[in-house]
A and B are shown apart, each in its own frame.
Chain A
Amino acid sequence: MGMVDGWSGMHGISAVPAYVVMQPTTLCNLDCAYCYLPFRSDDHRMPVEVAAAVAASVHPWTRTGRFSVVWHGGEPLAAGREHLAALFAPFGAGVEHHVQTNATLIDDAWCAFFAEHRVRVSVSVDGPEARNGDRVTRGGRPAYDRIVRGIDALRRHGIPFSALCVVGDPRPGVAAELYEYFLDLGCEVLGINVEELEGVNTRANGHAAADVTAFWSELVSAWRADPRIHLREVEWTLRYAGAVLDGVADEVLPRQLDPIPTIAHDGSVVLLSPELAGFDDPRYGDFTSGNVLTTPLGEILAGAAGTPWIAEFLRGVEQCRATCPYFGFCGGAHAANRYFEQGRFDITETDHCRNSKIRLLEGVLDHARDHEPTAV
């Protein structure tokens, strides 16, 4: 099956997620300019009862393969080790715990905690110091030194880590500088997020197409010279390109959308796009699909399509499938980008599509075209 019949992946929402995102606290000790999270100055902590309710639903899903619990925030470490351990406890040994952290609180004690609980760590850092101007403390002071101190602690303890980097100005010159930085930093995995207009971040993110494509192309060149890092965007793109060349492109996308349940501190559940948690809209309400304190998570997922905004989003995915030649690569515009850019879920191409999907693929292809092996 190919595009003549339509791409066959991403039909509807899976009843079983691969992971859940948990918000142990709304609080973040930083105040990054581009952050999409509301309430990040408040310390609303997740009660253990919420974690226990999620764990009970998750348990059967852990028997069939890897299952992950991702502690997000706010800043998850701001919940403190004692509380985080209490939230971990109901999950048992069958799940992997992950944290996405700004690294500023990481010290020897946190490293011991990570080792004890086998936590996989991903840090948020935007490259060299001068590129971290948006990452500031609540007092408005640069956070970079604290970020580096935390990452140094990880390295000192031999704890492998991933990194996420937000790029506000994707253009040539930036990519090579960033990749070299992350090689030195020592991360095993790197994800590049072009800044997005979403949540409470309302900064516009239109960029010149040629600049963004050249950014991705340059990133491939930099990576190719020393591919020690698993670079998320390059790996995915090459996987897709290889499948196209092998005639199996339609097998790349998951068969169904992962619901990616985000469990907010109070037990409320937002599906598909954690960025929607905490927001209200006159048309869509609060975007939640239920609360784990009153309804088992599995039941919430089974009824997902009944949430009005999700029904509209699924129509939007079908629109992407029907109209966009990048669908087999992308799987459809993400819900939060549709909503925060255009106010609806049934529209198609977003700035995020252009910056992070379309121009990524085009940049990789540009690189490949410009570096064809010399004919002999």
Chain B
Amino acid sequence: MPEITNPRPSEAEQPNGVGADPVTARVHDTRAGLAALIDEAEAARRRRAEGTPEDGSAVCAWNHFENIPTFYNWNNRPR
């Protein structure tokens, strides 16, 4: 399984402006499978009605993902 074998990002740049670091490259290499998964996730979000922030649900709107407070926040979240 890939680990960090060459941690410093390469100087090469891809057409989309993102450097060809190994992680970015692997995401691009997985494009077909990811695209299908991402589409399904979007459909699932719509079914969960995550577009309406004031519905009193435990889920906040997808657009408010950053703001799903506390434990559902990503960065340095408390646990």
A309 to B21, CA, bound (A): 30
**A-chain residues with CB within 8 Å of residue B79 when the two chains form the complex:** 164, 193, 196, 275
* B78-A260 in contact (CB<8A): yes
Complex Cα–Cα for A119 and B1 (A) = 42
Q: Is B65 within 8 A of A188, CB to CB?
A: no
- A371 x B37 contact (CB < 8 A): yes
Cβ–Cβ < 8 Å partners of A161 in chain B: 58
**Cβ contacts B1-39/A at 8 Å (1 or 0 each):** 111100111010110111101111011111111111110
Instruction: Give complex CA distance A335, B79 in Å.
Output: 12
Interface string of A71-109 (1 = CB under 8 A from B): 010000000000000000000000010101000000000
A326 to B64, CA, bound (A): 23
Whether the Cβ atoms of A224 and B24 lie closer than 8 Å is: no
Smallest Cβ distance from B48 to chain A, in angstroms? 6
User: Which chain B residue shows the least CB distance to A245?
Assistant: B31
B32-67 to A contact mask, C-beta < 8 Å, 1/0: 111111101100110110100100111110101111
* Least CB separation from B40: chain A residue: A224
Q: Are A209 and B3 in contact (CB under 8 A)?
A: yes
Name the CB-closest residue of B to A228: B48
Decide: B24 and A3 in contact? CB cutoff 8 A.
yes
From A10, A160, A161, A365, residue with most partner B Cβ within 10 Å: A365
> With A162-B71, A365-B26, A367-B37 given, is the CB distance from A2 to B4 under 8 Å?
no
Q: Known: A232-B72, A324-B4, A368-B34. Is A2-B18 also a contact (CB below 8 A)? A: yes
B64 and A372 contact, CB distance less than 8 A:
no
**A336-376 vs B, Cβ < 8 Å mask (1 yes, 0 no):** 00000000000001000010001101101111111111000
Interfacial chain B residues near A191, Cβ < 8 Å:
71-72
Distance, CA A39 to CA B51, complexed state (A) = 41
CB pair B9 A3 closer than 8 Å: yes
Cα-based distance from A234 to B28 in the complex (angstroms): 18
Q: Known: A161-B58, A224-B40, A260-B76. Contact between A189 and B68, CB under 8 A?
A: yes
* CB-CB nearest 10 A-B residue pairs: A247-B16, A368-B33, A3-B19, A227-B44, A68-B69, A2-B18, A325-B21, A372-B33, A160-B58, A3-B9
**A-B contact sample (20 more), CB < 8 A, given A245-B28, A354-B3:** A2-B17, A21-B78, A65-B67, A162-B59, A187-B58, A188-B58, A191-B71, A210-B1, A227-B41, A230-B59, A241-B38, A245-B34, A254-B75, A257-B75, A274-B78, A331-B76, A334-B76, A349-B4, A368-B36, A369-B29
